[in-house]
Structure 1
Amino acid sequence: MPEPIDAVPTTYAGTHFRSRLEADWAVTLDGLGILWEYETRLIVLPSGTQYVPDFWLPEVGTWLEVKGPNTPWWEKATELGKVRACHCTGARSCRWPGGQLVLRPSQRSPNQPGSRARYGHAWWGAAYGPSAYLTECPSYARAHWVTLRRPWRCRGCRAILGATPRFYSPAEQLIQFGEGDSLASGHVDEDMRRLAEEEQLAEDGDDDSW
């Protein structure tokens, strides 16, 4: 199995991230219009393990644990997903449809799974429970993740998504990842632009994948 890529601390939008991959996901979330918080909550899991997830999306009740495609050890994210999923036995009382989602986002370049490229298409998977799909609520006017369990409701405003909402799977490679200015115009730090340009130049001269 390929070795995980070393994390490179990166600053974006005034936030210091532990890795470029995390910073790129912040860029991607901004491009999708999704409000995010980075490492703001300490959670004590039922196992007794203390856990600080990478991202909390407060408007849509979703957690993101960002790791590269070759990084193992998802136990904490899986445990959090199991605990925060909907366990209602009668009338549903969860704040978000289906409870809180926990996703394990990564990244793939268009034609090189697992490559070093910071551009390409976003990839994600559910840490626990059914698969998650990206969609957009016409009323809420921003993207968010949902499962395919009916009724299909917006996790932001709880409005019905309609009879035939458009659900995006990561395998479709339609959600752009880490595209800098095109995704978050006016919010990308100069250091982020420079790092992106330097890495793109390196990629142009090196086609090896990780």
Structure 2
Amino acid sequence: MTDPEPHLEAVPTPYDGVTFRSRLEAEWAQTLNLNKIAWEYEPETITLPSGATYIPDFWLPQLGTWIEVKGPNVPRIEKAYEHARERASHSSSRWPEGELVLIGREPLRDAGPRRTRHGYANWETAYGPSAYFTTCLSCRASQWIPLSRHLPCRACRFLLHREDVGLHRAVDRRLRFAEPTDGWESIDWSAEE
């Protein structure tokens, strides 16, 4: 019997001086760069409450946000969910509402009037309320924020008001996803000795 949804092998991809484990991770890094969002790739190994070790893909240090990138048919999402439950309670003076953990997915394609060749960023919240993409009116930081009564900017703590800012979900197809037009150069690991 064949597997109806085969698991695709990730292709290591260099971008911005980093070799990512997959092309999708490199595309997420490029999307973050285009939105002027500072990121660190695989910054630390975390021991989860279950005792499992976990290396999250991205840490956004100015925003207190983690992003775990997962393509289609990729198993092992449980660690990201456990990490999200734990980090939601990591309150600090910088992020009193806790750290945010997102799952970055393959881009959404759109053939509508705002058609783009590359698609739009697709994400979901790993735990807690949905996360919306917005730009702070005070510091101009692009970011994801969970929808709640109070919407403090995750970068400068400026209180955002729903009626004053655009809050966008992934399905709104507003955050363009960055894919290179010239293609990526894959690394042939078998060539290295």
Question: Do both share a fold (TM > 0.5)?
Answer: yes
CA-to-aligned-CA distance 1:21-44 (integer Å, 9 cap, x gap): 000000000111110000111111
In structure 2, what is the equivalent of residue 201 of structure 1? none
Alignment pair present for 1:82 and 2:81: no
In structure 1, what is the equivalent of residue 70 of structure 2? 67
In structure 2, what is the equivalent of residue 149 of structure 1? 148
Query: Quick check: which one's strand share is greater?
Result: 2
**1:163/1:169 CA distance change after superposition, 3 Å:** closer
Alignment pair present for 1:168 and 2:168: yes
Query: Quick check: which one's helix share is greater?
Result: 1
Give the whole-Å Cα distance in 2 for the aligned partners of 1:12 and 1:172: 28
Q: Mind listing any 5+ residue stretches in structure 1 that lack a counterpart? A: 113-117, 182-192, 197-210
Runs of 4+ in 1 over 6 A off after TM superposition: none
Map 1:1-210 to 2 at 5 A. Answer: 2-86=5-89, 93-111=92-110, 119-164=118-163, 165-180=165-180, 193-195=182-184
**1:171/1:97 CA distance change after superposition, 3 Å:** farther
Question: Displacement of 1:173 after TM fit?
Answer: 1.2
Give the whole-Å Cα distance in 2 for the aligned partners of 1:5 and 1:128: 26
Aligned AA for 1:195?
W
Contact in 2 for aligned 1:74/1:127 (Cα 8 Å): no
RMSD: 2.1
In structure 2, what is the equivalent of residue 207 of structure 1? none
Question: Displacement of 1:180 after TM fit?
Answer: 3.7
What is the number of equivalent residue pairs in this alignment? 176
**Percent of matched pairs sharing the same residue:** 47
Contact in 2 for aligned 1:4/1:68 (Cα 8 Å): no
Aligned AA for 2:107?
R
Give the whole-Å Cα distance in 2 for the aligned partners of 1:42 and 1:138: 34
Residue aligned with 2:69, SS: coil
Give the whole-Å Cα distance in 2 for the aligned partners of 1:24 and 1:46: 31
Higher relative contact order (CA 8 A, sep 6+): 1
Contact in 1 for aligned 2:88/2:99 (Cα 8 Å): yes
Aligned AA for 1:25?
W
Question: Displacement of 1:177 after TM fit?
Answer: 0.7
Q: Mind listing any 5+ residue stretches in structure 2 that lack a counterpart? A: 112-116, 186-193
> Normalised by the size of structure 2, how large is the TM-score?
0.83
